[in-house]
Amino acid sequence: MIPVQGMGGLRVAVLGLGRSGLSAARALAAGGAEPLCWDDNPAARAAAEAEGFECLELTKAGAFDNIARLIVSPGIPHLYPTPNPVVAAALAAGVPVDNDIGLFFQSFATSEWNTFDVAPRIVAVTGSNGKSTTSALIHHILEHAGRNSQLAGNIGRGVLDIEPAPSGGVVVLELSSYQTDLARSLTPDVAVFTNLSPDHLDRHAGMGGYFAAKRRLFAEGGPDRAVIGVDEQEGTFLAGQLTEGAVDDRVIRVSVERKLTGPGWQVFARKGFLSEYRNGKQVASIDLRNIAGLPGSHNHQNACSAYGACRSLGLAPKVIEAAFHSFGGLPHRSQTIGEKGGVRFVNDSKATNVDSAAKALAAFKNIRWICGGLEKEGGLDGLQEPSASVRKAYVIGREAAGFAMQLSVEAEVCTTMQAAVAAAIKDAEEGDVVLLAPAAASFDQYDSFEKRGDDFARLVKEHLSAD
């Protein structure tokens, strides 16, 4: 645990008692603060009280008297589309609003660091797609290299649940826009921006607000080195804002769409090969084509981002390349479940928006595509070109018929995962890939994309084990 520093003896309100909220309450108490907890769910309050925490109804008049700070869980809106009433009450009372990420950055460094040979470092990864894979890949490379590494944030453990870092330790954080938007303290040593595509637009009042939430990690975080995907105009703009000139190697530009040239530090992937250039000269090259855990252009982008971050930490190209080959990928992200009769089954349930689904479709050929769910803003137009690899779509979700009508490929309305998997198996021929890449959220039928992916994997495994 990371005890919260600087709040000893203060009363701190905690709103939302899920994983991050309870973790924050424990870390506050460990640091000598008095956490006062609230959640609209009585079961969540009961769980907090069972741990000995006091619950205080934060909607009552005067609830924020003598409260030093309000800690808000990521799923609770603080500004758009409308502020949660508790957040609004805190702001009206002049109480600062923060989250567990802010508490972590405020508390990570301790006086013990004065005795360390090498100060611990934080690598923070944000962006629309690829955050989880990039974060997990950086963590995997560091462990492969024998470096002490912990993975936390939006993946793995809660940020305040990790262990205090030893000398030379590295903490790899995956951070969502919800987390970067509100954190009062952001001080990563290395920050990574993978890419940007429309997502969570209601929460950020549009694309500009969404980008602004991501940008805070860099503009306010002031990392020593920034690894920036420049295949969208926002990334190009961000890289330009952070650099002092063309030869400034504090910014590492990343692309999977073109060769990057110039005197700076560049990492790009073309035709399956990762290349690193510095000062206009090639430093290293890695063949990504046969790395099973990193299929497709979108994973090549993840590889480039992870490579740039690890090079910033002093790792050699050959060490990084060896670690790539032992990376097994993440569940629900281009995860191969198995193969039978020449048909491959791939779970990419994490493809919850159009852009991530398009990248998954571009990674394979002869696709039997299972898609659908709770459609997000912006429609499905971005799926027209990648759909060229699709032989047929099998649409799930409560609004499956409406979803299917927007597709440019032959589509069968299945509604349920069980029906979609059965239909895809029935139609599949040798050389086909049955791919779950929903291009939609899961909440119309499942509690999470993980539950959706688990259901797909369960049905596929039943098929694989059948005679």
Name the pairing type of β-strands 11-15 and 34-38. Answer: parallel
Instruction: Give the whole-angstrom CA distance, residue 151 versus residue 135.
Output: 7
Count of Cβ atoms closer than 10 Å to residue 370 Cβ: 27
Residue corresponding to tokens 């024998």? 146
On whether 102 is known to bind a ligand per the annotation, the reply is no
| CA proximity to 178, closest of 306, 58, 79 | 79
On whether 129 is known to bind a ligand per the annotation, the reply is yes
Is there a cis peptide before residue 81, judged by omega within 30 degrees of 0?
yes
Instruction: Give the whole-angstrom CA distance, residue 12 versus residue 255.
Output: 43
Instruction: Give the whole-angstrom CA distance, residue 1 versus residue 367.
Output: 45
**Which string of DSSP letters, residue by residue, matches 438-459?**
-SSBSTTT-SSHHHHHHHHHHH
**Which string of DSSP letters, residue by residue, matches 324-358?**
HHT---BTTBSEEEEEETTEEEEE-TT--SHHHHH
In single-letter form, the type of residue at position 321 comes to E
- Evaluate whether 375 touches 382 at the Cβ level (below 8 Å): no
Residue corresponding to tokens 């990648």? 386
- Evaluate whether 31 touches 88 at the Cβ level (below 8 Å): no
Instruction: Give the whole-angstrom CA distance, residue 448 versus residue 229.
Output: 28
On whether 133 is known to bind a ligand per the annotation, the reply is yes
Residues that constitute the known binding site for ATP: 127-133
Residues that constitute the known binding site: 127-133
